[in-house]
Amino acid sequence: MTRLTELTLAQARDALKARTLTARELTQAYLDGIAALNPRINAYITVTAEKALAQADASDARLAAGQGGPLEGIPLGIKDLFCTEGTRTTAASRILGDFTPPYESTVSGNLKRDGAIFLGKLNLDEFAMGSSNATSAFGPVENPWSRANDPAKRLVPGGSSGGSAAAVAARLALGATATDTGGSIRQPAAFCGVAGIKPTYGRCSRFGVVAFASSLDQAGPIARDVTDCALMLNSMAGFDPKDSTSVDVAVPDFAAAVARGVKGLRIGIPREYRMDGMPAEIEALWQQGIAWLKAEGASIVDISLPHTKYALPTYYIVAPAEASSNLARYDGVRFGKREPGADLIDLYEKTRAAGFGAEVRRRIMIGTYVLSAGYYDAYYLKAQQVRALIKRDFDLAWEKCDAILTPATPSAAFGLDEKHDDPVAMYLNDVFTVTANLAGIPGMAVPAGLDANGLPLALQVLGKPFDEETVFAVSGAVERAAGFTAKPQVMA
C-alpha cells in the first residue's frame, strides 16, 4: 500500500467512505509528518494536533454510521488569515499577539460543516503582503523543492500563501485554504508544484478572513491536483449574507467539470504577456501548453489585453490604499499586542511600529500617501480608472475566447536570500497573476513542467467571471497532458 500521505484528496475520500482507512489514521499520518518536517519547512504557525484527532474521531463515528459530509475526515491546513473559533489567528503578524477569535470564518466553517479536519494554521507573508513568505513574523517558509545544481540553497515557497503551498507539496496537509489578493494562491502553488485556484471575486465569502485589500481579496484552495482543488472549492464557495460583496449564484459541481475536456473551446493567448526578458523556459512551457490544448481539440486565438503592463502599478496603489484603512483597526486597544505609550497617540504609534513588520509598514504608508489630500486623484482615482480599463480588456477578450492561457510566474522559485533589497523587483513576481484580481476573474495555476534545475513551473488558466467550470476543464486538460509527477526533495 502507498503511504497514506500520498493519497490525493479524492482517493482519501473514497478510502474513508469505503472504511479501508480511518480519519484517525490519516490525520495521525499527517501529524507525524508535521512533527518531523515542520521544524524545517515552517509551514505551520500553529499545529492543533489534539483538536484534529478529536475531529478525526468524530468523523470516524459519522463515517461508521454511513454519514458524513463531502470532505468527511479530510485533514486540511488553514491559512492563518482565516479566523478560527478558539484557535489563535495571527495573520503572521506580531500585532495580533495571541488573538483568539470567538468566531469562525465562513469559508473554514463551510469546510468544517462538510467534515474536514483542521491540522493547524499555516504560515504566510504578514497580512498576506508578500510574494516569498519572507515577511512572516513567524519566520520564512522553506520551499520543499530545491535546485538540482544547488541542493543546499533554500528556496522561497512564494507568497503570500507560502505555508499553504509548501504544506501541500511536502505532504503536511491534504489540501489547504489560501487567499489571493495579487497572485497569492497561484504564485506559491506554481513555486511548489501544486495546484491552486483563485475563484471569481464574490464566489467565496470574505467574512472572517483578515482583510488585506477588500476589493481584491479572494479565498481559494491549494491542493495536490486540479480535481482536489475542485472538491475543496465546492465546499468553500457559496453565497454568504454576512459579506455584502458575496454574489448569490449557485455553486456548480466543479469536480465534474475537470474531466470535461476542451474540444471546441477557444483559448485566448494574450500577446502582452510575452514580456521583455522573460526566460526562454517560461516561453517554451507556454508554447507547450498551447500545443497540448490544440491537440485536445481547442482552438487557439490571439488576443490583446493592452493595459496589462499597467496592472502591477495599479495594484500597488489600490492594494496598499485599502490595506492602510483595513489595518487601522490594529491599534492595541481591543485585541492584540499593545506597546505602552505616554498617551494614546504614542501608544498607537509605538504599537503599530513594533507590531507591523517592515513590508506591512511600507505598504500602509504608501496607501496612506496615495489617499491623502492632494494625491487622491493622481494616484488612487487614476488607478481605479486604469483598473476599469484592465477589466474592460478582459470583457472584450471574452467576445473572442472562452478561457485564457498564460504562464503563472515569470520564473521558478528563487532563493530565500534573493530579491529582498528592491521592493519593485519583488512585486514583479505577480506580473501574470495580478490582472485577475483587478478584474475579479477566476484564475488557476497548474503544475506543467520543470525548469533546467528541476524546479516546478506552472501555467495559468483565466476564465470569465463565475465560469470556474471552464477554468477547471482547461486546467484538467493541461494537467492530463503535462502528466506532472515530479516530487519535491523534502516530503513527509
Partner 1 sequence: MSYTLEGKTGPWEIVVGLEVHAQVISNSKLFSGAATAFGAEPNSQVSFIDAGFPGMLPTINEVCIAQAVRTGLGLKAEINLWSRFDRKNYFYADLPQGYQISQFAHPIVGKGEIEVTLADGSTKMIGITRLHLEQDAGKSIHDQHPSKSFIDLNRSGVALMEIVSEPDMRSPEEAGAYLTKLRQILRYLGTCDGNMDEGSMRADVNVSVRKAGEEFRTRCEVKNVNSIRFVMQAVEAEALRQIEVWESGGTVDQETRLFDTARGITRSMRSKEDAHDYRYFPDPDLPPLVLEQSWVDAIKASLPELPDERRARYLALGLTPYDVHVLTLEKETAVFFETVAKGRDAKLAANWVTGDFFAALNRLKRDISDPPVTAEHLGELLDLVSDNTVSGSLAKQVFEAMIETGKAPGVIVEERGLKQVTDTGAIEKVIAEVMAANEGKVAEYRSGKDKLFGFFVGQTMKASGGKANPAMVNELLKKMLA
Partner 2 sequence: MSVDTAAIRRIAKLARIHVEEEALPGLAAEFNGILQWIEQLQQVDTSGVEPMAGGGATALRWRQDEVTDGGQAEKVLANAPDREGEYFAVPKVVE
Known catalytic residues are 79, 160, 184
Site string for partner 1, 372-391 (x = CB under 8 A): xx--x---x-----------
Cβ proximity of 348 and 356 under 8 Å: no
Binding positions for partner 1, 151-210, rule CB under 8 A: 206-210
51 binds, among partner 1, partner 2, none (CB under 5 to 8 A by kind): none
Alpha-carbon Rg for the chain in angstroms = 21
Minimum Å gap between C-beta 372 and partner 1 is 5
Compare residues 242 and 294 and give the one whose CB is closer to partner 1: 242
Q: Does 438 bind partner 1 (CB under 8 A)?
A: no
Give the residue, chosen from 329, 346, 354, 452, that forms a contact with partner 1 under the rule CB under 8 A. Answer: 329
Compare residues 28 and 368 and give the one whose CB is closer to partner 1: 368
Cβ proximity of 214 and 222 under 8 Å: no
79 binds, among partner 1, partner 2, none (CB under 5 to 8 A by kind): none
Tell me how many residues contact partner 1 (CB under 8 A).
44
Sign of torsion, CA 211 217 222 227?
Answer: positive
Give the residue, chosen from 61, 389, 396, 452, that forms a contact with partner 2 under the rule CB under 8 A. Answer: 389
Please choose, from the candidates 27, 37, 40, the residue with its C-alpha nearest in 3D space to the C-alpha of residue 76. 27
Rounded Cα distance, 190 and 194, in Å: 6
Rounded Cα distance, 328 and 464, in Å: 34
Rounded Cα distance, 230 and 235, in Å: 9
Grid-cell match 507568497, residue found: 159
- Count CB neighbours of 22 within 10 A: 18
- Count CB neighbours of 249 within 10 A: 14
Give the residue, chosen from 48, 105, 132, 146, that forms a contact with partner 1 under the rule CB under 8 A. Answer: 105
How is 46-108 classified by DSSP, letter by letter? Answer: EE-HHHHHHHHHHHHHHHHTT---TTTT-EEEEETTB-BTTB---TT-STTTT---SS--HHH
- Which 3 state secondary structure label does DSSP give 25? helix
Minimum Å gap between C-beta 368 and partner 1 is 7
Binding positions for partner 2, 208-267, rule CB under 8 A: 214-216, 241, 244-248
Question: CA end-to-end span of the chain, whole Å?
Answer: 16
Give the residue, chosen from 117, 209, 383, 477, that forms a contact with partner 2 under the rule CB under 8 A. Answer: 383
Binding positions for partner 2, 410-449, rule CB under 8 A: 422-424, 439-440
Give the residue, chosen from 99, 273, 432, 484, that forms a contact with partner 1 under the rule CB under 8 A. Answer: 99
Tell me how many residues contact partner 2 (CB under 8 A).
71
Sign of torsion, CA 154 155 158 163?
Answer: negative
Stretch that binds partner 2, among 168-176, 259-267, 284-292, 380-388 (CB under 8 A): 380-388
Compare residues 10 and 137 and give the one whose CB is closer to partner 1: 137
Binding positions for partner 2, 307-326, rule CB under 8 A: 307, 309-310, 313-314, 316-317, 324
Per-residue cell: 321: 490604499
Binding positions for partner 2, 93-122, rule CB under 8 A: 97, 99-100, 102
- Which 3 state secondary structure label does DSSP give 15? helix
325 binds, among partner 2, partner 1, none (CB under 5 to 8 A by kind): partner 1
310 binds, among partner 2, partner 1, none (CB under 5 to 8 A by kind): partner 2
Rounded Cα distance, 183 and 473, in Å: 21
Minimum Å gap between C-beta 419 and partner 1 is 29
209 DSSP assignment? B
Contacts of 317 (CB under 8 A, 6+ apart): 366, 370, 379, 380, 382, 383
Binding positions for partner 1, 450-469, rule CB under 8 A: none
Minimum Å gap between C-beta 81 and partner 1 is 8
Binding positions for partner 1, 214-273, rule CB under 8 A: 214-215, 241-245
Give the residue, chosen from 117, 321, 445, 457, that forms a contact with partner 1 under the rule CB under 8 A. Answer: 321
How is 137-191 classified by DSSP, letter by letter? Answer: TT-PPPPS--BTTBTTS-B---SSSHHHHHHHHTTS-SEEEEE-SSSTTHHHHHH
Grid-cell match 465560469, residue found: 467
Q: Give the phi and the psi of residue 482 in degrees, each rounded to 5.
A: -75, -35
Give the residue, chosen from 65, 149, 250, 334, that forms a contact with partner 1 under the rule CB under 8 A. Answer: 334
Stretch that binds partner 2, among 146-154, 167-175, 292-300, 365-373 (CB under 8 A): 365-373
**Interface residues with partner 1 (CB under 8 A)?**
82-83, 89, 91, 96, 99, 101-103, 105, 206-211, 213-215, 241-245, 321-322, 324-325, 327-329, 331, 333-335, 344-345, 348, 368, 371-373, 376, 380
